[in-house]
Amino acid sequence: MNKTKILIIEDEEAISDLLAYGLNKEGFVTATARTGAEGLRQVELFEPDLLLLDWMLPDMSGLDICKKVTASHNLPLILLTAKSDITDKILGLEFGADDYMTKPFDVREVVARIRTILRRVASADRVPDSTGSAEDCIRLHHLEINKSERTVVNRHRHELIELTPKEFDLLLTLIRHQGKVFTRPELLDFVWGYEYAGDTRTVDIHIQRLRKKLDAGELISTVFGVGYKFEKTADSRS
């Protein structure tokens, strides 16, 4: 059985070594990088299953790396930072991070967060579709969603719609449970993979972006005082 590979991009040698040692003891395979440029190369060469990324690196911001990685890879990512402000946490999530840990941290908690995210990723494809179809391709209204390729096409305009990994995961979660009303914390738990104790505005921001990109304001409904849902009648439209 292949072991899970974790890439650690962290410029502080003591923290990097501590994480690598702790993760190796838990059965993970690790690789390390001290700079953003080296880390981006390792993403291609090492092909990790999850990325631990320091926010402040000597050559570039961790947010820039986060944006680059999530634009081209469906790779779970945890930001490591000394920043503790809730605004910074929301910013990291909006850039595509799956989780956010503030230094100093206990390696045991890092391991627990990693396992939680990996369980969420592993179970995502096993969630039953309310569409009643096990096929990769879902057609709803003017949208065509390919689950395996993680692409969305506007069939009326014949255009590929560029979504971030989190935007795609959010859309797929809503579509898989058409008609179900999700609270914001539930969506954070489903899509980001952990129980979020802070501000839930990140869900609102991602919903706004989805509506705009998909031209689907009428498909993703706001249930005032509760949350959001994908209209169940949408699959009957062509």
What does pTM read for this prediction?
0.66
* pLDDT computed for residue 135 by the predictor: 63
Task: Specify the residue for token string 């230094």.
Answer: 103
Give the 3-state secondary structure of residue 47: coil
Q: Which domains does the chain have, with CATH numbers?
A: 5-124 (3.40.50.2300), 137-236 (1.10.10.10)
Give the 3-state secondary structure of residue 186: helix
Strand partners, 139: 144
Q: Considering only CA atoms, give the Rg of the chain.
A: 18
The chain-wide mean pLDDT, for the chain, equals: 83
* pLDDT tens figures, 15-39: 999 999 999 999 999 999 999 999 9
* pLDDT tens figures, 127-165: 455 544 456 788 888 889 988 888 899 888 888 888 877
Distance (Å, whole) CA 225 – CA 136:
34
CA-nearest of 4, 34, 32 to 20 is 32
